[in-house]
Structure 1
Amino acid sequence: MTTGFQGSLLDGLEGEGPGALGSSVVRTELAHGAWLDLRRGWVSGADALFERLREVVPWRAERREMYDRVVDVPRLLSFYDEGDPSPDPVLADVHRALDEHYEPELGEPFRTVGMCLYRDGRDSVAWHGDTVGRGSTHDTAVAILSLGAPRALLLRPRGGGAVLRHELGHGDLVVMGGSCQRTWEHAVPKTARPVGPRISVQHRLRGVR
């Protein structure tokens, strides 16, 4: 079910752009060498950024083969490769801030930016890990900035286990690192609740999809 986008009343009161990371990031050590970082409300002015990205990003619909038939991907997509200009100056600031905080730990910067537009509660992404490329064999990191209406991000150990749930939106940052893409799965499930649109902005290392 669809509802109009409702911005946060507190968003943008401190200007626009990413805030501090450092000690404001809360890390949870997961099983099997995986970890999860969470920084609530990291980007100020996130609702205005959401509106701009919804208008200027060249969103596209895709179809994929699944279970011997071709189906619509239940969300709109866009991808910015290394060297592509950022669609918004605030996203360029986000990229620099992520590199400043995480490159000393990861040993390399984030390279690509993928985006998903969840138009309403019918849009979703199924359980998966980002294991195309290096993610299938090496520790990696994926940093996701959530803009717009909050949606649930679920995580569970690969093969089954207790599910972790985080409601993310309005400038929240989550980073999945270590073995997370190999040993855990994540999903954004469909919901029958009235929810507004959401954009996830995924920063990945080179060779990770």
Structure 2
Amino acid sequence: MALERTNLEEGAWVDIARGWLSGHATLFDHFAQRAPWRTEERVMYDSKVEVPRLVATLGPEDDVPPIVEAMRRALERKYETSFSRTSLAYYRDGHDSVAWHGDYIARKMESALVATVSLGSPRNFLLRKTGGGPSIAFPLGHGDLVVMGGSCQRTYQHAIPKVARAAARIALMYRPVWKEP
């Protein structure tokens, strides 16, 4: 796997492997049609709003192609950790997004790993220092892999912003099971 590492400040880093998964369109089609998609709501200010994307958590009972497990095992070998949680986010068009954030438990940890494989069309994956400031854009799609590591979840935030036009993208995410520190 040809990785490009970007070292950030305060012990954070991001690895990117372009085109890491060949045949990503087949896996995209599989999940678009068969994943256990659900909507979620979040409280923003004083009201509940629908999260602007679909989400799914994959379990042993779900129809998951063997390549998903093969990728997990390859990532576990490379990063010497257990990626035991697998989830999906479906960005159906440019109106779907995720706001600036760090993963809830991981942002309380000294270091954490999150690996994401981008299926479908490219979207900009943005990173910025926690608290704001200029962002770094990484266009991801077509089977690209991004791994956030070190202090990245704590010292940086990431987002997929809304855009005027975009074709569909699915983020396939691998995470360890984290315990509250």
1:172 and 2:149 aligned = no
| Contact 2:112/2:151, CA 8 A, preserved across alignment | yes
Larger Rg: 1 or 2? Answer: 1
- Aligned partner letter, 2:7: E
Q: 2:102 aligns with which of 106, 129, 144?
A: 129
Aligned to 1:113, what secondary structure does the other structure show?
A: strand
Q: Structure 1 residues 27 and 86 mapped into 2: Cα distance closer, same or farther (>3 Å)?
A: farther
Q: Is the 8 A contact 2:83 2:174 kept in 1?
A: yes
What is the letter of the counterpart of residue 18 of structure 2? R
Alpha-carbon distance in structure 1 between the residues aligned to 2:179 and 2:120? 25
Q: Which residue does the alignment assign to 2:177?
A: 206
SS at match of 1:32: coil
CA distance in 1, matches of 2:176, 2:67: 20
Aligned length: 180
Greater Cα offset, 133-142 or 121-130? 133-142
Q: How do 1:1-209 residues align onto structure 2 when only pairs under 5 Å count?
A: 21=1, 24-80=2-58, 87-103=64-80, 108-130=81-103, 132-193=104-165, 195-207=166-178
- Percent of aligned pairs with the same residue? 47
Query: Cα deviations across residues 175-198 of structure 1 (Å, max 9, x unaligned)?
Result: 0000000000000000012x1100
Per the normalisation by structure 2, the TM-score is: 0.94
RMSD of aligned Cα (Å): 1.7
For the 8 Å contact 1:135–1:208, the answer to whether it is kept is no
Q: What whole-Å deviation, never above 9, does each CA across 1:13-50 have from its counterpart, x for those lacking one? A: xxxxxxxx2xx111111001100000000001111110
2-structure distance, mates of 1:99, 1:85:
21
**1:162 counterpart letter in structure 2:** P
Find the aligned partners of 1:187 and 1:57 in 2 and give their Cα distance.
23
Deviates more, 1:83-92 or 1:34-43: 83-92
Kept in 2, the 8 Å contact 1:141–1:204? The answer is yes
The amino acid of 1:140's aligned partner reads: A
1:86: how far off? 6.4
Counterpart residue type for residue 154 of structure 1: L
Q: Which stretches of structure 1, 4 residues or longer, exceed 4 Å deviation after superposition?
A: 83-86
Tell me how far 1:137 sits from its aligned partner: 2.4
Q: How far apart are the structure 1 equivalents of 2:139 and 2:37?
A: 24
Alpha-carbon offset, residue 205 of structure 1:
1.2
Q: CA 1:208 to 1:185, structure 2 compared with 1: closer, same or farther past 3 Å?
A: farther
- 1:161 CA drift (Å): 2.5
Structure 1 residue 85, shift from structure 2 partner: 5.8
